[in-house]
Amino acid sequence: MAFVGKKFPAITVNAMDSMGDTIKLNVFEEATKNNKKVCLFWYPKDFTFVCPTELHAFQAALGEFEKRNTMVIGASCDSAQVHFAWLTTAKDQGGIEGVTYPLLADTTRALSMELDILDYDMFSDEDNGGDNVTYRATYLIDETGTVFHESINHMPLGRNVNEYLRLIDAFSHVQNHGEVCPANWEEGKDAMKATPSGTAEYLATH
């Protein structure tokens, strides 16, 4: 199911915050009530290999997201307790100590099923009915709770965090100027204005 141009599901999920407390978090409400954009990224499982590199990469870029009035939220189907154990494990031991943004704990799979991002074969266990995990799915959500970008990576493929910053810059430019952003556009480069004829012309924006 594609969510671009649609409201993000208003489903409340358990989460672990940076203080080690289990909280209730609704991504749609975080965007709309706080008038912020949200970058929500799903990863398959705590205490794995590629996943901690991504969580540390998002943490390293957290200041850049905050400059763009954007919240970062991580998510997996692990429990809040497992998140806490991972958060208190040192980086050189495979942990994510130092990560300060919240982590959703979608243990019921209610939100990940609604988003249709579960891999029902990965980590399956016939004895206990399976331990289904998510693909590396990413959602960029605007201040009205509407999704303006979504992407899904297969398990072995880590994300480029800078691309999400670029997409946020581009969407903010569209919001602020009503122009469109061509391929490889970055902040400070020329944008384009759609014309009534259906063509587009470049406009200097700096």
Query: Which positions are catalytic?
Result: 51
Strands (E), 17-163: 22-26, 37-42, 70-76, 103-105, 118-119, 133-134, 136-141, 147-153
User: Residue 139 has which token pair?
Assistant: 């959602």
| Short-list 83, 68, 64, CA closest to 21 | 83
Integer angstrom CA distances of residue 174 from 168, 169, 185, 186, 194: 10, 9, 12, 12, 12
